[in-house]
Amino acid sequence: MIPPDSSPPATVLDAYLHALLSGDCAAGHALGTETFRKGNGELCGETTVISARVNGDPATPSSDEVVFASTLITTGTADGSVPDGEITWFYALARQPDGSWRLTGGGSGP
């Protein structure tokens, strides 16, 4: 389910993680911008995520950007870019011109 455009970033990330866990890549993609893709944080369709949890409060580089740390358990990727097992994965979200929050990128570290 896609949350309303007025939803805070934590709600958007939660909806994405639910989509990721259920394999609903169409819903997951709808919560991201064009920059959120394979190689820049998008995991849906690239690995199976068995478990996901957000780790505490996000970092807030600006009033229009937040970065959440999460712990994922995955089956890994065929190319080895994401390992099998428990990993820390970061998700960046930015406020869009219409006021909605969307995923813009992510990965395993800076």
CATH number of the structural domain spanning residue 77: 3.10.450.50
pLDDT (0 to 100) of residue 21: 96
In a domain, 39, yes or no: yes
Examine residue 18 and state whether it is found in any structural domain, yes or no.
yes
**Amino acid 80: pLDDT:** 87
Looking at the chain, how many residues does it have? 110
State yes or no: pLDDT of 110 exceeds 60: no
53-97 pLDDT per residue, tens: 999 999 999 999 999 999 999 999 888 889 999 999 999 999 999
Helix, strand or coil, per DSSP, at residue 87: strand
CB 80 within 8 A of CB 100: no
Confidence bin at 109 (pLDDT 50/70/90): low
Cα→Cα distances 7→11, 46, 82, 98, Å: 6, 27, 29, 12
Residue 110 resides in a domain: no
Total domains in the chain come to 1
For residue 82, count other CB atoms closer than 10 A to its CB: 20
Cα separation, 5 vs 8, in Å, equals 8
Note the pLDDT of residue 101: 98
Write the pLDDT tens digit of every residue in 17-61: 999 999 999 999 999 999 999 989 999 999 999 999 999 999 999
Sign of CA dihedral 5, 49, 33, 8: positive
What dihedral do alpha carbons 7, 12, 13, 14 form, nearest 10°? Answer: 90
**Would 1 be classed as within a structural domain?**
no
Query: To which H or E segment does residue 59 belong?
Result: strand 59-62
Asked, for residue 2, whether it belongs to a domain, the answer is no
pLDDT (0 to 100) of residue 1: 81
Question: What's the domain range around 46?
Answer: 9-105
